[in-house]
Amino acid sequence: MRFLSLQRARRSAHITHMPVIRARLLMMNAALGPLDYKVPDGMNVEYGQIVIAPLGPRQVTGIVWEEGRLPANSVPEAKLRPLLSAVDVPPIRGELRRLIEWTADYYIAPLAAVARMVIASGGALRGPATMTEYRLSGGMPDRMTPQRERAIAALEGEQATIRELSGLADVSEGVLRGLVNQGALEPVEVDVDRPYTRARHDFDEPDLSDDQRKVSARLVEAVATRKFAPILLDGVTGSGKTETYFEAVAEALKDDRQVLVLLPEIALTEAFLKRFGNRFGAAPVTWHSSLKSTERRRAWRAIASGEAQVVVGARSALFLPYANLGLIVVDEAHEISFKQEDGVRYNARDVAVMRGHFEAIPVILASATPALESLHMATSGTYEKLDLPSRFGGAQMPEIRLVNLTEEQPGRGSWIAAPLRRAMFERLERGEQSLLFLNRRGYAPLTLCRNCGFRFQCPNCSAWLVEHRLSQRLSCHHCGHETATPEKCPECGEPDCLVACGPGVERIADEVAEMLPDARVALVTSDTINTPEKAAQFVAMAEGGAIDVIVGTQLVTKGFHFPELTLVGVIDADLGLEGGDLRAAERTYQQVAQVAGRAGRGAKPGEVLIQTRHPDAPVIAALEAGDRDAFYDAETEARRHAGAPPFGRWAAIIVSAEDDAEAREAANRIGNSRPRLDDVMILGPAPAPLALLRNRYRYRLLLNARRSAELQKVIRQWLGQLDHPPGVRVGVDIDPYSFV
């Protein structure tokens, strides 16, 4: 059946696309404009075909594009060089070509940069491939060494490349090559593109609650209808949003169409994969930045051929060349990690909706704390909104209380106030779990010398170095610069004079260990949970009751479901409200509401204690009252008043150079040539809050436009007429999320 329908699709594609004689290529290199080539006799290319073309002595990759949609070039017919070959992968479909164009246009990015996100695996374009993996042969080496012994013990039942095995066994590749030579490891040839296990739509169907059934029926209908339908799935934490949208996934599977599920975090993926496997009997295809190149190729080709049924990935999975997409789900759709901050600065949540538009399919945005923009789209009728107002299985929403830090001061060098301490003692006594949240990695955000006042600063950035006691290093969270924590002050030479100022999660974990010496404490940050395996291990331990207290950064705010977790403590709810972030209130609300949502998800009720110095701040008061609508209403009015999104639009222009004067002059040049417009207000240039980043000096301009303004056109014309020295970079950030 499946095979037949694919055949039909292919044939009709041949009928509608006439063969091209002169082919205009979108080149994968942004420095090249579109180039025209001759299609040699006997070569059959369609629009969207990926081809190899000659350029001088080199071979370059391009995509055959509709001529009228790319700027023409004037090379006469007779001078055209012939294409070398067509790559044996399906052509990039028209729907995706339109998305590439839209993305480049909207985010003011080169077409090539967007197209490269589609061809995200160089390896995928090569011909059939096998690779060599190794496994234990059962034989023993002539000479045993401790390392060899360790490797053999660790590799029982494993089969992978030497590099991967070396990671698994924690020995060098040299040790493993020795074992190959000795015959203890044997090579196995495997097909890189071996098929994935098929998922089954009816593997283990859940019993949905009435609310869930109503919502899932509508989602299923939307998938079956095969029309564009943006849907906001707005359900409280623990309401079973995943369970519910899985029914829509099942419908697409039944219909042999592909599904893309975007997740914000790799740590979340593990818990998700397990649930997915339980429901559909097979793992989905995953896509994220730490895939090995062979896995990347395998996934890419399976996605392009239609073999991959469900893809679960980070934002970059959005641009892959799905053969027959039937549904997109953006889970935790409010998450800011869907916003890419370098290269093409796009927001995967918004582009997902555009992809749904071009593909004519439903897009589900699932969240307990939707972005104000999404909620506005729903109230204005652009998005459909489906609600899951209560937790599954009768679990109650947690009780939320504030701890006023101006009254309940913790002692010196301590950050956990008495009420939170008491609550943690109780939990430990009852054998229940607590979670403490502080969105700051490391031990302390600032280290200074008590003797001379010296402060450790990053040499490349205008930022303090953050002490990490676990790794005994001072590190910059912006550029990754690291140095060993010294014994004495580098300025005055005094020993034992360095003081840590302020808390990071490591310091909170220390405080917990001191306060509850018997408690088993897990520290959950991107420093400790940095691989899918570690994430899986953490989830298993927390679920199995092997952890009493979890201390974590934003990694722990979402996705996890630990029934024994009954207390959540927010160490510093005011942290996110500092600084010049225009979305600070919304982000604080989302983070605290999400982490609060981890409490009391099982049979036992949950309690949340929020430590704050500003109990009267509207966002904190709304959190205490559990009044989501009050928060959104107040924030909506504030945004309306400020002409901020969704009522107006923002864009940022970021100018940087290694030389401060050069950057400043370029920024001033841009500022001085600003257009005077009624519907666009332009602020700056001003030194960026992060005035130095990775050794580049930075200046920013902020545009605030009415919705009706043609913002992109204005920026393109404005910046297009200016030239800058080669060392100057000018970046445009449409709908920015970062203001540093």
Q: Which is nearer to Zn ion, 424 or 476 (CB)?
A: 476
| Strands in 495-638 per DSSP E | 498-501, 521-524, 549-552, 565-570, 607-612
Point out which residues bind Zn ion (CB under 5 A).
458, 460-461, 476, 478-479, 481
Stretch in the footprint of ligand ADP (CB under 6 A) among 117-125, 232-240, 498-506, 636-644: 232-240
458 binds, among Zn ion, ligand ADP, none (CB under 5 to 8 A by kind): Zn ion
Question: Is residue 277 close enough to count as binding ligand ADP by CB under 6 A?
Answer: no
Q: DSSP string spanning 240-263?
A: -HHHHHHHHHHHHHHTT-EEEEE-
Alpha-carbon gap, residue 120 to 92, rounded angstroms: 13
What contacts 42, CB < 8 A, 6 or more positions away? Answer: none
Question: For residues 229 and 461, which CB has a smaller minimum distance to Zn ion in the complex?
Answer: 461
600 is a contact residue toward ligand ADP (CB under 6 A) = no
- Binding flag, residue 407, ligand ADP (CB under 6 A): no
151-180 residues near ligand ADP, rule: CB under 6 A: none
207 binds ligand ADP (CB under 6 A): yes
Residue 241 binding target from Zn ion, ligand ADP, none, CB below 5 to 8 Å by type? ligand ADP
Find the part of the chain contacting ligand ADP (CB under 6 A) among 87-95, 239-247, 501-509, 517-525: 239-247
Q: Among Zn ion, ligand ADP, none, what does residue 481 contact (CB within 5–8 Å per kind)?
A: Zn ion
* Closer residue to ligand ADP in complex, CB, 237/611: 237
Contact with ligand ADP (CB under 6 A) among 121, 242, 591, 611: 242
On whether the CB atoms of residues 271 and 279 are closer than 8 A, the answer is no
Q: Name the minimum Å distance from CB 239 to ligand ADP.
A: 4
Cα–Cα distance, 322 to 302 (Å, whole number): 9
DSSP string, 283-316: PPEEE-TT--HHHHHHHHHHHHHT---EEEE-GG
Binding partner selected for residue 737 from ligand ADP, Zn ion, none, CB under the kind-specific 5 to 8 Å limit: none
Q: Which residue is nearest to ligand ADP (CB)?
A: 240
Rule CB under 6 A: is residue 528 a binding residue for ligand ADP? no
Nearer to ligand ADP, 458 or 547 (CB): 547
CA within 13 Å, CB half, 357: 14
Answer for which of 48, 90, 240, 648 binds ligand ADP (CB under 6 A) is 240
Shortest gap between Cβ of 30 and ligand ADP (angstroms)? 39
Asked if 284 touches ligand ADP (CB under 6 A), the answer is no
Q: Is 507 an interacting residue with respect to ligand ADP (CB under 6 A)?
A: no
611-640 positions binding ligand ADP, by CB under 6 A: none
List own/partner pairs for 168-177 with CB under 8 A and 24 or more apart. Answer: 171/147, 172/147, 175/145, 175/147, 175/148, 175/151, 176/134, 176/151
Beta carbon nearer to Zn ion, 477 or 561: 477
**Choice between 103 and 212, CB closer to ligand ADP:** 212
By CB under 6 A, what part of segment 387-406 binds ligand ADP? 392
One residue of 91, 178, 238, 600 binding ligand ADP per CB under 6 A: 238
In the window 548-577, what residues touch ligand ADP (CB under 6 A)?
Answer: 561
DSSP-H helix ranges across 17-161: 94-106, 111-118, 146-154
Q: Does 369 bind ligand ADP (CB under 6 A)?
A: no
207 binds, among Zn ion, ligand ADP, none (CB under 5 to 8 A by kind): ligand ADP
Give 597's DSSP letter. T
- Reduced to 3 states (helix: H, G, I; strand: E, B; else coil), residue 106 is helix
- Cβ 230 vs Cβ 353: under 8 Å: yes
Ramachandran area for residue 218 (φ above 0: left; ψ -120 to 50: alpha; else beta): alpha
Contact, 339 vs 262, CB < 8 A?
A: no
Specify the residue, 349 or 696, whose C-beta has the smaller distance to Zn ion: 696
* 237 counts as binding ligand ADP under rule CB under 6 A: yes
Q: CA of 696: how far to CAs of 460, 480, 651, in Å?
A: 8, 15, 21
Distance in angstroms (rounded) separating the CA atoms of residues 267 and 277: 16
> Among residues 199 and 458, whose Cβ is nearest to Zn ion?
458
In the complex, the smallest distance separating the C-beta of residue 480 from Zn ion, rounded to whole angstroms, is 7
Beta strand 648-657 with 729-734 is antiparallel
Please work out the total of residues on this chain that contact ligand ADP, with binding judged by CB under 6 A: 15
Q: Which does 240 bind (CB under 5 to 8 A by kind): ligand ADP, Zn ion, none?
A: ligand ADP
* Residue 460 binds which of ligand ADP, Zn ion, none (CB < 5-8 A, kind-dependent): Zn ion
Smallest gap from Cβ 566 to ligand ADP, in A, equals 15
Beta carbon of residue 336, minimum distance to Zn ion (angstroms, whole number): 21
Q: What per-residue string of b and e applies to 406-422 under the rule 16 or more CB within 10 Å gives b?
A: eeeebeeeebbbebbbe
Give which of ligand ADP, Zn ion, none residue 121 binds (C-beta under 5 to 8 Å, depending on kind): none
> With binding defined as CB under 6 A, does residue 206 bind ligand ADP?
yes
CA distance 296 to 287: 7
Note whether 421 and 519 are within 8 A (CB): no
Give least dist CB 521 to ligand ADP, A. Answer: 24
Q: Choose the contact partner of 674 out of Zn ion, ligand ADP, none; CB within 5 to 8 A by kind.
A: none
The strand pairing partners of 58, in sequence order, are 55
Q: E strands along 507-583, which residues?
A: 521-524, 549-552, 565-570
How far apart are alpha carbons 639 and 342 in whole angstroms? 26
Phi, psi (degrees; rounded to nearest 5) at 72: -75, 155
Cβ atoms of residues 355 and 156 within 8 Å: no
Q: Is 102 or 454 the residue whose CB approaches Zn ion more closely?
A: 454
Give whichever of 276 and 464 is closer to Zn ion, judged by the CB atom.
464
**Rounded Cα distance, 568 and 546, in Å:** 18
Task: Count the Cβ atoms, other than its own, within 10 Å of residue 276.
Answer: 21
- Please report, as ranges, the residues that interact with ligand ADP according to CB under 6 A: 206-209, 212, 235, 237-243, 392, 561
